[in-house]
Structure 1
Amino acid sequence: MITVHAVLTRPDWDEFRAISRGIYRDDPFPAPDDSIDIDRVLIRPPTSVAATRRIQAFVARAQGIPVGRIAAIHDLGFTEYTEESIGFFGFYEAIDHQDVADALLDAASAWLADQNLTSMCGPFSPSMFYSAGVVVGAAPERPLVGMPHNPAYYGGQFEKWGLVGVKDFYSYQFDDPYILFTNPAFARHRQMYERVRARSDVTFRTMKYRTIRRDAKIVAALYNKAFVDFWGYSPLSAAELFDLLKLMLPILDRELVLLAELDGKPVGFLMAIPDANQAAAHAARLPFRSARDLATVWHLKRPGRHKIVDTVRVDMLFVDPECPDRAVAPLLIMELSQRMKDKRYQNVEAAPVLDDSAWMKGSFLTRIDKAPHRVYRIYGRDLEPNVED
């Protein structure tokens, strides 16, 4: 018999956290421990973040053994901004048993309906800005840092419960990051960008650790201008971005985190993340998480790092839509490519790229023969209103 219990106590949260280890115990491409810090995002979020989200987590048990988990999320900022009555689910993990999936999704949907929400969408863990969707239609492979990784059966579980795909997004991989400059189909654009760079007044600087709080305000303001018309957008606060950047500091290569400026004014941002999962794979056999975390950071920073960590993921790239210099995005990409070459990174993967985003339609991806490397999917369905006795 499957039972579902609300997560209320510290032992409940320990159980919630431990479920993912059981799900991926035999995974040939194990991810590191939960890539999103559950303590900081779910259990003890910053006050400014906690005020904008209501969350209820659940654990499913079979014969008393934990077999699945889910979090129901009411993002107050999203519903206020969009005026859409949509609730989210996320942090989903479950064994390959449809009854477990049904019980978890039933619990999450009932809680969201109690919040007077009329539809459910996900997975969001806990929002589009962090991690969203599940990998679909792909053979198992090493997960990409900061992106979803899941058993192949998750999409089927969602669909059997009644969820349908509402949005796809992709990753694009380049074994040679300099394809932008060597592919014949892109030669004309390369020449054009080189001319533009020669006459452009755009400059670049890295994000400084000592000014990270100030830079978080700058980047959040740019993000909110650039993504206001994107699917799933809701305003990002500087406080939330600052907290996320602090969590990521141990794995970031600050030479790959770039602010573009024009006449001293910030106009663009690019963040590429070294693939910490490559480093984590070398630390996976250590018995304790603290030891695994320290070993992962050591592999990321040590001399000879490039022999283990040779890939980066372009996580964010956006430009102020009011910027008069329309070459900022390609100039950021060119600057990143040069820095990757200098630091001996060999591969790059761009993700997430929305299937209907103007950036993808207008980018080099439409001009070269390059299929998506991975596909991620977000699901949704309408909710049945709860009827009180």
Structure 2
Amino acid sequence: MLEIKPVKPNTTELDDFLALPKQIYQPDHLMQSEEEELALIEGSHPLSSDLETYAFIGYVDSRPCIRGLLTFYPDDEAAYLGFFESINDQQIASAFIEHLAGFARSLGASRIIGPVQASFWLGYRMQLTGTEELPFTGEPHNPAYYPQLWQEAGFEIKERYLSNFYPKVSNQTHQDKLAHRFESFEEADFTICSPKKQEWEEASLQVFELLNRLYQDFPIYRSISSQQFSQIFQKYQYILDFSMVKLAYKEGKLAGFLIAMPDYGSLVYQKLTPLNLAKLFWTKRFAKRYTIMYLGVDEQFLGLGSALAYPIFKEAQKRQASAIGALIHQKTVTRHYAAELQGKKHEYGLFEQDLNS
């Protein structure tokens, strides 16, 4: 018999909530930030002032077996379900989701969208393919059986995304189209450069302003303040390799950005022991794979995205590293970049359940 309990700060339920993912995943597949989960449940997260969270954990025979966190925004009829983890048991998952749906309905929600880790900014989407492979940094990662658990419990896929994997390319490979784009923008007086570490704080706020404007129409997007953005992303200054960050300026104004990051796998979520710190620095210096996490271009400069991709392509080629175009919405043009160089892909979904039907 499934027993579902709310999770409150400083309780056994909270300890069980934080511990459950370790039962589900092997260590190098575990992409959990306990610190973030704890801050959201305690209400001390940079985004806590904008949202309300309710965490739940389910037990069978006093053993934790399923968990989830519902997020509500004051002006939003949707509730967001995230931090979901479960054993492979449809009956348990359906009963748990039904319980959360009833709770969301009682607070006035008309639908549940997920997986959403409380906010667009903290992670969302469920992995549909490639689940057996080691995840890259920032990839939504889950066991292969999760999509079925959700669909059988009344969810439907509403949005689809993919990550394109680019194998490393030999030094003989030329990307004439990208090179031509790059040159044409340089000739048009665009400055394409990498920020220095000491410039990143200021540059990241310029990126945020542009990103905030460009991402408005993305599913589940919500604006946050520049202060919240800085607090959430301050750790990036330690893990970014700034030579793989490209900013494009036109007349001193930011026109586009491309942020690629060394792939640390699950390492960035692990405790910062001296050994793990050494591994982080080693990976940053000698990365074998890079993940293109953020790309944005002012609407009036079409083609600038390809121009920004060119120096990244050249760097990866020089370092004999592969790359991933990560988490692209299936309707965007970015998914076609350097199509002839693309290898395999991973797919993801964003689910929705109508609570009125």
Q: TM-score range by the shorter chain?
A: 0.7 to 0.9
Alpha-carbon distance in 1 for matches of 2:295, 2:220? 17
Q: Does 1:55 align with 2:43?
A: no
Residue of structure 1 equivalent to 2:310: 334
One-letter amino acid of the structure 2 residue matched with residue 65 of structure 1: R
CA-to-aligned-CA distance 1:36-72 (integer Å, 9 cap, x gap):
832344434445x212111111111111111111000
Q: Does 1:317 align with 2:290?
A: no
Alpha-carbon distance in 1 for matches of 2:228, 2:147? 29
1:87 touches 1:121 (CA, 8 Å); kept in 2? Answer: yes
Q: Does 1:299 align with 2:279?
A: yes
Identical aligned residues as a percent:
19
1:67 touches 1:94 (CA, 8 Å); kept in 2? Answer: yes
Alignment of 1:80-159 (within 5 A): 85-138=77-130, 140-159=132-151
One-letter amino acid of the structure 1 residue matched with residue 10 of structure 2: R
- 1:190, CA displacement in angstroms? 3.7
Alpha-carbon distance in 2 for matches of 1:251, 1:89? 29
Q: CA RMSD in A?
A: 2.9
One-letter amino acid of the structure 2 residue matched with residue 235 of structure 1: S
Residue of structure 1 equivalent to 2:6: 6
- 1:165, CA displacement in angstroms? 1.0
2:248 counterpart SS class: strand
- 1:371, CA displacement in angstroms? 6.4
2:125 touches 2:349 (CA, 8 Å); kept in 1? Answer: yes
1:280 touches 1:295 (CA, 8 Å); kept in 2? Answer: no
Residue of structure 2 equivalent to 1:263: 251
2:178 touches 2:310 (CA, 8 Å); kept in 1? Answer: no
One-letter amino acid of the structure 2 residue matched with residue 204 of structure 1: I
What is the number of equivalent residue pairs in this alignment? 356
Residue of structure 1 equivalent to 2:38: 39
2:164 counterpart SS class: strand
- 1:376, CA displacement in angstroms? 0.6
CA-to-aligned-CA distance 1:14-43 (integer Å, 9 cap, x gap):
221110001114x7x523543883234443
Residue of structure 1 equivalent to 2:23: 22
- 1:310, CA displacement in angstroms? 0.8
Q: Name the CA shift for 1:178/1:103 in 2 (closer, same or farther; >3 Å).
A: farther
1:279 touches 1:297 (CA, 8 Å); kept in 2? Answer: no
Q: Name the CA shift for 1:312/1:190 in 2 (closer, same or farther; >3 Å).
A: closer
Alpha-carbon distance in 2 for matches of 1:313, 1:213? 21
- 1:278, CA displacement in angstroms? 6.8
CA-to-aligned-CA distance 1:276-333 (integer Å, 9 cap, x gap):
117579xx8xxxx342xx4333213139942xx31111110001224xx434212211
One-letter amino acid of the structure 2 residue matched with residue 37 of structure 1: E
1:124 counterpart SS class: coil
2:97 counterpart SS class: helix
One-letter amino acid of the structure 2 residue matched with residue 164 of structure 1: E
1:88 touches 1:123 (CA, 8 Å); kept in 2? Answer: yes
One-letter amino acid of the structure 2 residue matched with residue 31 of structure 1: L
One-letter amino acid of the structure 2 residue matched with residue 200 of structure 1: A
Q: Name the CA shift for 1:92/1:232 in 2 (closer, same or farther; >3 Å).
A: same
Residue of structure 2 equivalent to 1:378: 350
2:264 touches 2:283 (CA, 8 Å); kept in 1? Answer: no
Alpha-carbon distance in 1 for matches of 2:247, 2:40? 26
> If the length of structure 2 is used for normalisation, what is the TM-score?
0.88
1:59 touches 1:66 (CA, 8 Å); kept in 2? Answer: yes
One-letter amino acid of the structure 1 residue matched with residue 67 of structure 2: R
1:258 touches 1:270 (CA, 8 Å); kept in 2? Answer: yes
Q: Which stretches in structure 1 are left out of the alignment for 5+ residues?
A: 80-84
- 1:345, CA displacement in angstroms? 5.5
One-letter amino acid of the structure 2 residue matched with residue 57 of structure 1: A
CA-to-aligned-CA distance 1:220-267 (integer Å, 9 cap, x gap):
210122122333332243123212211333322232233321111111
Residue of structure 1 equivalent to 2:337: 364
1:171 counterpart SS class: strand
Alpha-carbon distance in 1 for matches of 2:166, 2:150? 31
One-letter amino acid of the structure 2 residue matched with residue 95 of structure 1: I
> If the length of structure 1 is used for normalisation, what is the TM-score?
0.81
2:288 touches 2:321 (CA, 8 Å); kept in 1? Answer: yes
